Structure formats: structure tokens, C-alpha cells
Structure 1
Amino acid sequence: MDLEVELCFPQLINFSCRRILRPHSTSMLIYFSLSSLSWLTVTLNLLVIISIAHFKQLHTPTNILLLSLAVSDFFVGFLIIFQILLIDGCWYLGDLMCIIYYIIDYIITSASVENMVLISVDCYVAVCNPFQYPTTITQKRVCVCVSLCWMFSTVCVFIVFKGNLEQPGRFNSCSGECVAVFDQVAGLIDILFFCIGPVTVIIILYVRVFVVAVSQARAMRSHVIAISLQSTVKVNLKKSELKSARTLGVVACTFLICICPYFFLSLTSEGTELNVLSFAFFLFYLNSCLNPIIYIIFYPWFRKSIKLIFTLQILKPGSSEFNLV
């Protein structure tokens, strides 16, 4: 086979990395899948961002968390473009751009993980302490927590990538490679704060939410006939909270299903087949596209807002005051 076809940089015969040679049909399938995923992820999450940001009725603590998650998912859609560029295994954008890509990717994905933790806490308080929720989970507190979440991810990224920032490309074994290496301290921070820690917290909180939700559902069914008007309001409130908890639970479960294989393989990737790693990576990015689809299925207000956006009703004066719930 022609050596120029095998190398990323044919002019650097002794230093160039080798391409990943696949059948043309396989490469086109990967290109089409990633391109479609990127377009859907960007478009759907942009609809979530516009909906929550524009309509004042949607400015609730829970929706602010969903807005923050949609922002991170929106940028994940753009990051997929870089994976399209890496279909043949060659990085052509230089060492500095490689590190910038890793930094942006780390901030966005770690912020997404932290957002899921905040969403789990919000759901836990809403179901387990419903009458304290309005005073405990306020819009101001949620905004502060979301800001701290993004700030924490930004600070951590410079600690984790400190060695890579000192000399971009120092860990590349050949030209056309884009790798980043963590030291022990950076790896420990990454595992504790963005892998094992968040996943453990999410699982514990949702197990507690599930137990409480089941007990509340049974209590409502057994007392629904003999309740007063005041109790009816409380029951309806609990039903609304349980419905919201169910939706957020689906989001959290989808997150864990998509993210855990990637985290597991990132810790034990030595000797793992490339196809397995590629699938885990694809599943990791797929989660950002699935979240808006879950909102479409479970949230009537999101379906209404999409209709208003596509019919350009949001351009009318006073459209931010429309009733969606």
C-alpha cells in the first residue's frame, strides 16, 4: 500500500502517525452518524435554551438547572465536529489547538456532570421535603449553585491539565496525534469530583427519591376517596412533584447509562479494543442529544414552546408572557 495513504503527514515519514484505514462505507457511516448527532444535539438544545430563557413562566429553579445542562449539551454538539475531523485518526489542527480542545471538552463535560448532581438534589428536595422546597430551593440559590458549578469546572481544568499546558504536544508520540496525560493528583481530582463522586451521589439520591415516591403514591391511592378539599390540593401538588421527579429520574438514568461505560473504560482502557472505546465515546456524546428528546416526551410546555418558536410567535410583543403550563 502507498505509504502516503497510510501516513497523516507524508512529508514527515519518520515522525508522522499512521492513519486508521477503514473501508470507505464504514468511514461514510461514521461521518454521517456523527454529523447527524452533532446537528440534532445543537438544534434540540438550542430550542431548550430559547424556550427557558424567553418565556418568563419557565423561570423556575428546576428549569434553570435544565437550562444550564442544555448549555453544556449545546456545546457538546459542536465538540462532535472535532471527532468528525478525527475519523481517520489524524489531528491536523496543531498541538495548541489540541490542548484547547481538551480544555473546552473537559469544562463542558464536567459541568454537565455537576449539573446532573444539582438536578438530583433538586429532585430529592422536591419529593422528600415538598413543603420546604419553595424556601430551600430558590431561584437565586440555584443561579449561585450553577455559577459555582461552572467556575469549579473551570478551575479544576487548569489543575488537571497543568502538565499539558506547560508544553503542548509534549506527550504526543508522533505528528498527527492529540493526547493529554494526567499525573496522579490530576487523575485523583478527575475521578473523585467528576466520576465516582457524582455518580455515587446521583444513585443514592434517586434511590431515596424512588422509595419516597412509591410510598407517597401508595398513600395517595389509599386515601384519595376520603380527602377534604384542602387535602385534594396537597395531593395534586404531590402528583405534580412526582411527575416532575419521574421526568428528572429518566434524565438521570439516561445520563448514567450513557456516561458510566465511558468512565469505566477511561479508568481501565488499557487493552480495550478500539471499537469498544469508540462506542463508549459515541454513547457519551449521545446523552447530550437524548435530554431534549426526553423533555419533548414528558414536558407539554416544551412541545408548546417549540411550536411557538417555529411559528415565530416568540417575535410578537409580549410573547414572553405566554402561558405554557
Structure 2
Amino acid sequence: METTPSTDEGIIVTSNTTEDNVEKELTSTTLLILVKVMAVLAIFLCVLLNPLMLVTLRRVTSIQPTTKIFMASLTLSDLCNSLCWILPLTELFAGSWLLGDFLCVVYSVTIYLFNGLGIYSLLLLTVDRYIAISRPLRYPSIMTVFRSKTIVFSTWAAVSIICILGLGIHGKKVVSLVSKHNLCLRESYEWRQYLSVTLLVFTILSILIMYAHIAVIARNQARRIAAENQAGNGQGGQRINTRSTTTIIIITGTLIITWIPSVIRLVIDSQNQWEPYDSYLAMMFTNVLLLCNGWLNVMIYYLRNRDLRQAMHALLSDWHRSLQQRFLH
């Protein structure tokens, strides 16, 4: 290790310190570039795919109306979340928050609001699918259209009120000077951080447990059908359809990849184990992962459903013919 004596007595500057600072700055710059690229790509895909899927969802008649309501809630929350990302996107590319204290608070409320609505809409959709598979005969009486609309409306209202009161009024964000940048950061975390972690962990675990049970039920049903076919024709049973199980694995894997980092980051932030700028970069990275969940939901819930794929293909074909007729005439 090289040491360089300074002009002041008793002070020695080590080259290791300089190297560590350079390495840390290089890592921060690399992470910042990654976040920028991921954010732009995710916003583009969300704004492109989610409106298309909302229109497609209206054209599908084979899906139960109650399920369509929960899917529309999930899609709309993902779309709103991507539109609200215009605010932090300006901060990422400008290097500082330029929009003032009021919009800093607005950003704090909306980012938590629509991320929260996204995970709770996913929970509602999971509960709907769980009831439909575990109680197929009672499902029409348990989950009516009126009841599903009431559940979705109540969820949006409750999450909106909690975010506005807890984050907009009593838990404001402020524009602070951190590492030579004016950044939109939270003043303090206190009990809100622990509450957020608790609710997230409970919600994610509930979704994972229900999907695990759905996978077991689907597997047992497939085996029973295969056994009945074998007993009926005296030949080998049909191959068990593992598509539903594969879809469930994709759903749970995506949920873990996009949401668990946010839980870990919230736990670390609540213990103040990061420097403010490192905490900011970690927050932006985990928020971008949550944003990516918006277009991944479309890929999973829509494009893996044959009826929705056919409806989307028909919709795009109609638009193509309409444009051709308009330009030809």
C-alpha cells in the first residue's frame, strides 16, 4: 500500500482510499446507466402493451366478467404507474430533482399508490382464480359482478386514502442535497417503513401460497382425467397438461424477482445502513423492477391465454384493414 505524506503534520493519505472512491463512483455510474435504460424500456412497453390489452379484454367473451374486472384493475394500475414514472425519469436524466417540493410529494404518493394497487390487484386476481379452481360449482354465487366491482372499488379507495394521508400529509418527501445532487428523498421512515414491509411480505406470501395450492389442484385434476381416460379406453392415459403449472411457475418467479428486492431494500433503509445516495440508487433500481412487472404481467396473463391472443390478433387485424382502407381511399 502506497502512502503519501501531506503538507500538514500527522496526516497521511493512502492511495487505497482514492481507489475505493473511484471504484464506488464507477459502480454508482454503472448502476445509474442500467436504471435509465431499464426505465425507458419498461415505460415504453407498459404504455404500448397495457392500453392494447385493456381494449383486447373488452372484446373477449370467453373469460368470466368477474375475472375481467380484476384483470382490468391490474392492467390499469400498471398503466398508471408507468405514466407517473415521467416524474422520476426527469430526475434520472437531469441528475437532480427540478420539479419542486410539491411534485416531489406527488411523486411519493403516486409511486407508492400505483405500486400498491398493482400488488393488491394481483392479490385479488389470485383470490379470484383460487376460488374458481377450488370451488368451481360455487364460484358464480361467491364472486358476482357486483361483488367484484365493489371489491375493486373499495381496494382503490382504501389504498388511495392510506397513501395520501400516510405519505402525502404526514410523511412528506423533501428535496435534499445529496452527493452534489438535489434529490427527492423521504425525510424519515419510522413506522411507515415497517408497515410497508409487513404488508408486502404478507401479500406476497399469500399470493405464493395460493398459487402453490392452485398448482397442486391443477396437477391432481390432470392426473384424475388421465386415469379416467386410461380406464375408459384400456389404453395409456393422455399426457398431463403442464401448461397451467408452467404459467404458475412463471408468475411466482416473476413476483419474486420484481418484488422481493423492494422488501429487502425497505428493510435495509429502515435500519439506516446505507448512505443517502446509495439508498437513492437502490430505491430507483427496485422501483424500476416493479415497473417492469407492469409489462411482464401482460406477457404472462394475456399472451399465455389463447382466447386473449386470438382477440388481440383479431383487433390488430381490424386496425390494419381500417388503416389500409383509409390510405387507399
Q: Same fold (TM over 0.5)?
A: yes
How many residues in Structure 1 have an aligned counterpart in Structure 2? 282
Alignment RMSD (CA, Å): 3.4
Q: CA deviation at 1:290?
A: 0.8
Contact 2:262–2:286 (CA<8 Å) still a contact in 1?
yes
Cross-structure match for 1:125: 131
1:44 maps to 2:55: no
Q: Does 1:86 align with 2:91?
A: yes
Contact 1:116 1:252 in 2 (8 A): no
Match of 1:163 in 2: 170
Does the 8 Å contact 2:50/2:75 carry over to 1? yes
Pair 1:248–1:138, CA change in 2 (3 A): farther
In structure 1, the partner of 2:176 is: 172
One of 198, 206, 209 as aligned partner of 1:201: 206
Counterpart in 1 of 2:12? Answer: none
Query: Matches of 1:103 and 1:84 in 2, distance apart?
Result: 16
- 2:264 paired residue number: 264
TM-score, scaled to structure 1: 0.74
Residue deviations 1:193-248 (CA, integer Å, cap 9, x gap): 3x1221121122222222222222222221223469xxxxxxxxxx99x9667646
**1:53/1:59 contact within 8 Å kept:** no
Contact 1:52–1:59 under 8 Å retained in 2: no
Contact 2:91–2:183, Cα closer than 8 Å, also in 1: no
Q: Secondary structure at the match of 1:172?
A: strand
SS of corresponding position for 2:160? helix
Q: Relative to structure 2, which stretch is displaced further, 32-41 or 181-190?
A: 181-190
Unmatched 5+ residue regions in structure 1?
Answer: 1-19, 229-238, 317-325
Higher Cα radius of gyration: 2
Q: Distance in 1 between matches of 2:103 and 2:318?
A: 38
The structure carrying a bigger strand percent of its residues is 2
1:71–1:118 CA distance, 2 compared to 1 (3 A)? same
Q: Give, in whole Å, the separation in 1 of the partners of 2:261 and 2:215.
A: 23
- The answer for the alignment partner of 2:325 in structure 1 is none
Kindly indicate whether residue 120 of structure 2 is the aligned counterpart of residue 114 of structure 1. yes
Structure 2 Cα separation of the partners of residues 122 and 223 of structure 1? 28
Q: Distance in 2 between matches of 1:53 and 1:292?
A: 15
Q: CA deviation at 1:32?
A: 4.5
Structure 2: distance between partners of 1:254 and 1:73: 15
CA contact (8 A) 1:41 1:73 kept: yes
For 1:21 and 1:94, locate their aligned partners in 2 and report how far apart those are by CA, in whole Å: 29
Quote the offset at 1:287 in angstroms. Answer: 0.8
Paired with 1:24 and 1:186, the residues of 2 have a C-alpha distance of 30
